[in-house]
Amino acid sequence: MAKVIVVYESKYGNTKLVAATIIEGMNEVGGIEAVLNELKEVDPNKIADYDAILIGSPNHFGEPTRGPKKFIDKLGKLHLKRKMFAVFDTYIRGDFEKAVKKMEKRMNEKAPELKRIAHGLSIKVQGMKGPIVDEELPKCREFGKKIATQLKT
Local structure of 22: helix, strand or coil: helix
CA dihedral 141, 60, 73, 118 (to 10 degrees): 30
Alpha-carbon distance of 79 to 120, in angstroms, equals 22
In the range 45-64, which residues lie near ligand FMN by CB under 6 A? Answer: 58-62
In the set 41, 81, 93, 112, which binds ligand FMN (CB under 6 A)? Answer: 93
When asked if residue 40 is in the footprint of ligand FMN (CB under 6 A), the reply is: no
The 8-class DSSP code of residue 132 comes to B
**Binding of ligand FMN by 14 (CB under 6 A):** yes
Nearest distance, CB of residue 46 and ligand FMN, angstroms: 23
Q: Which helix (H) or strand (E) holds 39?
A: none
Minimum Å gap between C-beta 41 and ligand FMN is 16
Rounded CA separation 153/131 (Å): 35
CB 85, min distance to ligand FMN, A: 19
95 is an interface residue for ligand FMN by CB under 6 A: yes
Bridge partners of 87, per DSSP, are 55
Could you say which of 12, 51, 80, 142 contacts ligand FMN (CB under 6 A)?
12
- Residues within the interface to ligand FMN (CB under 6 A): 10-15, 58-62, 90-93, 95, 125, 128, 130
